[in-house]
Amino acid sequence: MKTDSIFYRLFQEFPNIFFELIGNSPETANLYQFSSVEVKQTAFRIDGVFLPIQDEEVPIYFVEVQFQPDTDIYLRLVSEISLYLRQNKRKNPWRGVVIYPSRDIDKGEKEDFIEFFHSQRISLIYLDELGSAASLPLGIATIKLVIEEEDTAISTARELINRIQQAVNLQLPQQQLLELIETILVYKFPKMSQKEIEAMFGLSELKQTRVYQEAREEGEQKGKQEGKQEGKQEGRLEAKLEAIPKLLALGLTPEQIAQALDLDIAQVQQVAQQKSS
């Protein structure tokens, strides 16, 4: 799963989620712009940097997303920050934030930088310790979807979608949140077919998102090409029928599957009965 690109997009589109994640007011995001920064004359690239928009005495936040064990993570992070500060001559104080999926991935050697951790100059966030998605703010709950187990990711995503739809005075752009949820699920289930993805994202609101529309267009183009090559409608129908047991296993109802695959409910029920017999 492309976690770096997911988090880069997340913090770029929803910077307030980052500040909520580290315990600050979401409105703090109004003071910052977010970008990925390359340190010149080195091979270093910092995952994300929140830079103050104006010359206010607020911290620069350096963000690293670390989903693989790395004993040198803190040595590299401090080196990157030091080089950046030297090259850019910023007078602002700085803070480092490292985001892990879980504590067991944190293999970094802390001894040489222990004061940074004691002073909270460098903060560590373990996503699996944030609490249940249902009890978290929508933005943080969306972040947690990245580490959700595959057998619960779809149901958790549906709960998030329902919360987004029912939220009153939602602080975050609804459509962008829906697109982000869909993108996370697409990355989590890369082997699912186009029709299965459509069924998994069954809500009409999600079907209007950019990711869905792009995927649908690609699927339609592929279908036309296959139709020209094979010249048979039976092939597409067979593919739909083969997808039904997988979608049933994911917890979709026959009605949802029939709507998503453009099938009669009787066809879906017939396959379901054959599976159970």
pTM for the full predicted model: 0.69
Indicate if 269 and 203 belong to the same structural domain. Answer: yes
Residue 216: predicted pLDDT:
52
pLDDT at 203 over 60: no
Tell whether 230 and 262 lie within a shared domain. Answer: yes
> Do 44 and 160 fall within a single domain?
yes
| DSSP 3-state percent helix, strand, coil across the chain (nearest 5) | 60, 10, 30
pLDDT tens digits for range 138-194: 889 999 999 998 888 888 888 888 888 787 777 777 778 887 887 788 778 777 665
Q: Is 263 left (phi over 0), alpha (psi -120 to 50) or beta?
A: beta
Asked if 186 and 223 sit in the same domain, the reply is: no
Question: Do residues 215 and 139 both lie within one domain?
Answer: no
Residue type present at position 277? S
Domain count for the chain: 2
For residue 186, the one-letter residue type is V
Q: How confident is the model at residue 222 (pLDDT cuts 50, 70, 90)?
A: low
* pLDDT tens profile 94-121: 999 999 999 999 999 999 999 999 999 9
Phi, psi of 92 (to 5 degrees): -70, 150
Enclosing domain of residue 231: 196-276
The helix (run of H) or strand (run of E) holding residue 180 is helix 174-188
